[in-house]
Amino acid sequence: MKNLIASLPNHIREALQIADNTTLNPYNKDIRQVLITGLGGSGIGGSIVAELVSDTCAVPVKVNKDYHLPAFVNENTLVIASSYSGNTEETLAAMEEAIKRGAEVALITSGGKALELAKANNYNHIVVPGGNPPRSMLGYSLTLQFVVLNHYGLIPNYRETLEKAADLLDAEQADIKTQSEALAHKMQHHIPAIYVVDGFEGVAIRLRQQLNENSKMLCWHAVVPEMNHNELVGWSGGDDNIYALFMRNELDYERNQKRIEINKGIISQHTKNMSEVWSKGSSPIENAMYLIHFGDWLSYYLSELNQVDIMDIKAIDHLKSELAKF
């Protein structure tokens, strides 16, 4: 896992090369909305991309994490299915439903039943390297979702921005590792509360999921300004067992910046454990990738401190084996 985390910049570059070597079918449908369907490590890329393209995409982009599709999905919907293994049962069910409704389907996978389904129906598909934990392959799925959206004429070509993000991670990786390791020592034995501004919730979800799977820790996340209308009051029941972490960007809206400063003052009355991480980069994509990389390393160092097996997902494997009985 350590090597896979370190390889995120190269995964972004390799995904762009895979796209260059993949021929996608032309499209002739009037795409009026996009649905990205996928779960867990395969699905988090959709949550992040949907937010990052909200200012440039010509149509709404929604995310689905279930067996079934929303009622709006029809022949004018682009359904991007993301299943690293190609055998995620919820995503397979959603693909089959999309086919029945006549949607335009595109798939990102390493193989499995989903790839067979895409080939049988002549759907666009992009194949990524297999054999690794899905959560470690975010660089591929996230990058290729930008590629697919661009292929369908829905967003600009973000290739240069993604390449700059990869270069940024290479340049900052040593510092990211140093800072995240130091934060891990502070955060150990606490329950993390992760805060971001609206538009970066996917980044917070990514960190929460990495702490769950890699570090074997429970935690939660919330978004400013929404949490100012509810959760902030809940901090009256907070204590020093909780560690508040604000993940911030210089590009964040100024009113939200002010909110965070006020939030810090209120929360500090209930816990002495608080930190903030500022991203680097000149675009939201660079900011997001910086914070994602920081969070991945944080989860790694916490797994070391917690003395847990970072690769162990026995609980998920047990769930799948039980479901297979029905």
The set of catalytic residues is 213, 229, 320
CA 93 to CA 85: how far, in whole Å?
A: 14
Q: Measured at the alpha carbon of residue 35, what is the angle toward residues 118 and 8, in degrees to the nearest 5?
A: 80
- Closest to 128 in 3D by CA, of 14, 1, 210: 14
3-state SS, one letter per residue, for the chain: CHHHHHCHHHHHHHHHHHHHCCCCCCCCCCCCEEEEECCHHHHHHHHHHHHHCCCCCCCCEEEECCCCCCCCCCCCEEEEEEECCCCCHHHHHHHHHHHHCCCEEEEEECCHHHHHHHHHCCCEEEECCCCCCHHHHHHHHHHHHHHHHHHCCCCCCCHHHHHHHHHHHHHHHHHHHHHHHHHHHHHCCCEEEEEEECCCHHHHHHHHHHHHHCCCCCCEEEEECHHHHCHHHHHHHCCCCEEEEEEECCCCCHHHHHHHHHHHHHHCCCCCCEEEEECCCCCHHHHHHHHHHHHHHHHHHHHHHHCCCCCCCHHHHHHHHHHCCC
Starting from the edge strand earliest in sequence, which strands make up the sheet with 77-83, in order?
Answer: 61-64, 33-37, 77-83, 104-109, 124-127
CA 122 to CA 202: how far, in whole Å?
A: 31
